[in-house]
Amino acid sequence: MGLGLFDGCNYTLQRESTETQREFAQHEQGKVTAGWEMWVPPPGPDGVPYQIIFVGPTPEHRGGAIRLHMVTQDGGELPDDAEVRLETYYKTGVERTVMFQGPYAQFRAIPDQHAPNAAVAVQKRAEAGEDYVIRLTVTVPEGEPQPDPTADESFFELECVKLWWHETAGTTSWADTSYVAGAMGAEAGAIFTRDRVQVSGFDVMYLTGGHDGDMAPVLSLHGMGGAGKWEAYHMALGTVARTYVPQLPGWPEGLPPAGIGSVQDYAALVVEFLDTVGIDKGTLVGHSIGGWIALHVATAHPDRVARLILVDAMGTEVPSAPAPDLRTLDEESFAKAVFGRLGLIATAQAYGFGAEWENVRRGPEFERQWKGRGLVASLVQGPCADANLTRQVRSIGADTLLIWGRLDGIVPLQHGEALRAALPRAKLDVLDRCGHLPMVEKPETFHRLLYDFLVGVEEEIPDVVKV
């Protein structure tokens, strides 16, 4: 007997769903493509996000169900060779994943698509988070009867897992998750709590959550944009390990606090944080300035670092590609250095259907990065490079993953290459068409890189060059 469909889905996308934005037909390159476009709901008034996961095949099941019937404009049947495509992508068009592609004949061949285990299944797993588009389309050659997604007889059902955050009594968790080994353990990574501890006289807020298992805990050190939210990539880390995310002192205010005068001071505070929360040895994840701090911790306290993940990390001195002095950058040059792509992008409206155009340069992510730039510039008082640290990193013996945006103008790719050459147990993954913020610009790819490294999986990922 063949494998059944995945039966742990808790949500069905269909024409009547609030996520469905429009029905459309477009003519291009001698073909007619018609179908439905859906948007993952934007965060609500409390700012918490949604996530939709399409469950792909595993040795235990065929994947989540896809049901589809579409008629032509004259009410007839579509040809068997009409191409069906289900895909999701980030609003800028990147991070595209095709979950199903095949002939319409597969759907016509099933007399009752609602019979047990009778539906067509998703071919590939995909996550769709904030600002993602989901499209289900049927394509036929120009001149053939045109598909009509607006007809009463046309319908679709996409079984998936829909997650959203729910906060009560200081504890925030994903609600209504009936999942989930098939979708990368999302439930375990989603539940977290918010707490505070006193460290070196500072009141440090931190989030902690994720899977309590045999793997060493993870400490995630934020970049210029700060912390304070359980981001999607924290969830990816939390699927396999207990994860801690502190907000470093000074970031809420945008200025280094009294008592913190160097990156080394932050590193000393991080070590004391480890002591305070009871982490003897863990995996350090550091982005940007957080990567610089993590390098100091790893060189000064190698016994505390099980593994190291550095993402566009500051701190390395590379004379052939010097890091900029953040004090000299105006808003325009800073934006060009941070983001791999500027300009207008389509953003889902906060309420109702449709979309509006948002300029990256004026968006909230830029504002967070610009505010953090001021803190780092005030702290460093010069280029974000440390010659002594550059010599010391050769002593780091921990397995290390380096993740770098090819278009990073804050910490050029040559810095990642220099670390790859200096660290004896490092590997470098380069993300094409990405700047200083892989978790923002290439979120799903970034999550997969984190997860694969932690669990020891090797796979080919589009737009990633392994060095």
CATH classification at residue 76:
2.60.120.1180
pLDDT of 297 strictly over 60: yes
Please tell me the predicted confidence (pLDDT) of residue 361: 65
**Assigned token pair, 14:** 């269909």
Please tell me the predicted confidence (pLDDT) of residue 334: 94
The model's pLDDT over 236-256, given as tens digits with 9 standing for 90+, comes to 898 889 999 999 999 988 899
Assigned domain for 50 exists: yes
Assigned domain for 133 exists: yes
The model's pLDDT over 421-450, given as tens digits with 9 standing for 90+, comes to 999 999 999 999 899 999 888 887 898 899
223 in the same domain as 136: no
Total domains in the chain come to 2
Question: What is the extent of the structural domain holding 403?
Answer: 184-466
**Assigned token pair, 327:** 């004090």
141 in the same domain as 279: no
249: nearest Cα among 264, 273, 266: 266
194 in the same domain as 144: no
Q: What is the mean pLDDT of residues 2-22?
A: 86
190 in the same domain as 128: no
Domain boundary among 131, 163, 195: 163
pLDDT of 263 strictly over 90: yes
Query: Using N-to-C axis directions, what is the helix angle for 364-380 and 331-338, rounded to 10°?
Result: 100
Residue 48 CA, distance from chain mean position: 15
Please tell me the predicted confidence (pLDDT) of residue 91: 83
The model's pLDDT over 193-243, given as tens digits with 9 standing for 90+, comes to 888 999 999 999 999 988 888 899 999 999 999 987 778 788 889 888 999
How many angstroms separate the CA atoms of 240 and 283, rounded?
12
DSSP state for residue 9 in the 8-state scheme: -
The model's pLDDT over 28-41, given as tens digits with 9 standing for 90+, comes to 889 999 999 999 88
199 in the same domain as 69: no
pLDDT of 282 strictly over 90: yes
Domain boundary among 163, 195, 221: 163
415 in the same domain as 273: yes
Assigned domain for 2 exists: no
**Cβ–Cβ < 8 Å for 339, 367:** no
Assigned domain for 246 exists: yes
**Cβ–Cβ < 8 Å for 437, 364:** no
How many angstroms separate the CA atoms of 184 and 58, rounded?
11
Assigned domain for 1 exists: no
Please tell me the predicted confidence (pLDDT) of residue 169: 33
**Cβ–Cβ < 8 Å for 360, 335:** yes
157 in the same domain as 214: no
Neighbours of 81 (CB within 10 A): 11
DSSP 47-79: ---EEEEE---BTTB--SEEEEE-EETTS-BPP
Q: What is the mean pLDDT of residues 89-117?
A: 91
Please tell me the predicted confidence (pLDDT) of residue 18: 84
The model's pLDDT over 367-388, given as tens digits with 9 standing for 90+, comes to 889 999 999 999 999 999 999 9
pLDDT of 296 strictly over 70: yes
Please tell me the predicted confidence (pLDDT) of residue 55: 87
Domain boundary among 134, 163, 192: 163
335 in the same domain as 272: yes
The model's pLDDT over 314-372, given as tens digits with 9 standing for 90+, comes to 999 999 999 999 999 999 999 999 988 765 443 333 333 333 444 566 677 788 899 99
222 in the same domain as 121: no
**Cβ–Cβ < 8 Å for 246, 271:** no
Q: What is the mean pLDDT of residues 106-132?
A: 91
123 in the same domain as 210: no
| Percent residues over pLDDT 70 in the chain | 88
Please tell me the predicted confidence (pLDDT) of residue 343: 57
First to last CA, the chain: 44
| Percent residues over pLDDT 90 in the chain | 62
Assigned domain for 100 exists: yes
CATH classification at residue 399:
3.40.50.1820
Assigned domain for 176 exists: no
219 in the same domain as 157: no
pLDDT of 50 strictly over 90: no
213 in the same domain as 114: no
Please tell me the predicted confidence (pLDDT) of residue 120: 96
pLDDT band, very low/low/confident/very high, at 466 (cuts 50, 70, 90) = confident
Assigned domain for 171 exists: no
What are 339-344's contacts with CB under 8 Å, separation 24+? 339/366, 339/435, 339/436, 339/437, 339/441, 340/405, 340/406, 340/407, 340/408, 340/433, 340/434, 340/435, 340/441, 341/92, 341/433, 341/435, 341/441
pLDDT, mean over the chain:
86
